[in-house]
Amino acid sequence: MAKKSFPLSKVYGLLEPGPVVMVTTSRDGNPNIMTMSWHTMMEFEPPLVGCVISNRNYSFGLLKATKECVINIPTVEIAEKVVGCGNTSGANVDKFKKFGLTPKPASKVGAPLIEECYANLECRVVDTSMLNKYCFFVLEVVKAWIDPKVKNPRTMHHLGSGNFMVAGKKIKLKSKMK
């Protein structure tokens, strides 16, 4: 079947890597939440995660200044809150209050964990060399938390323009990766 040209502006929806996450930051006791899908694994251990956080977002300044954040991984049960946090700015809204999410203290960083997310990764910024050009932060995960009760997390994967795929069936194949 003949292929048709695909708009470059929609390419990201084909390559969207992992789950949509919620990044929390905090300054002077004021926490914020930002929805993010442009992230990529860069190293196994210690885990390094690269991510693009636009300098138009309130979170950009908080992360640049504090060099600490938490990557919170939500499931489809809180989809409306996830999208809500991606369509409002912490510059004028307390998103924990507005979306009824619960901040819990992290163990190693100042930003809070979101209780309603099944996994939380406490991170420190370790490289900002591509910040000016690409708004690209390299984060090191310094502590990770998981809810053992959640056996098959139904994570959300952004396909672009408000469309999401929800993680489903698992398959296992032989692999040399740990």
Residues that bind ligand FMN (CB under 6 A): 20, 32, 34-38, 52-54, 57-59, 83, 86-91, 158
State which H helix or E strand residue 122 sits in: strand 119-127
Report the distance separating Cα 120 and Cα 108, nearest Å.
Answer: 12
Report the distance separating Cα 149 and Cα 152, nearest Å.
Answer: 9
Q: What share of the chain is helix, strand, coil (3-state, %, to 5)?
A: 20, 35, 45
State which H helix or E strand residue 142 sits in: strand 136-146
Of 41, 22, 21, give the one whose Cα is nearest residue 90: 22
Q: How far is CA 5 from CA 2, 8, 9, in A?
A: 10, 9, 12
Q: How far is CA 2 from CA 5, 12, 96, 140, 161, in A?
A: 10, 22, 48, 44, 25
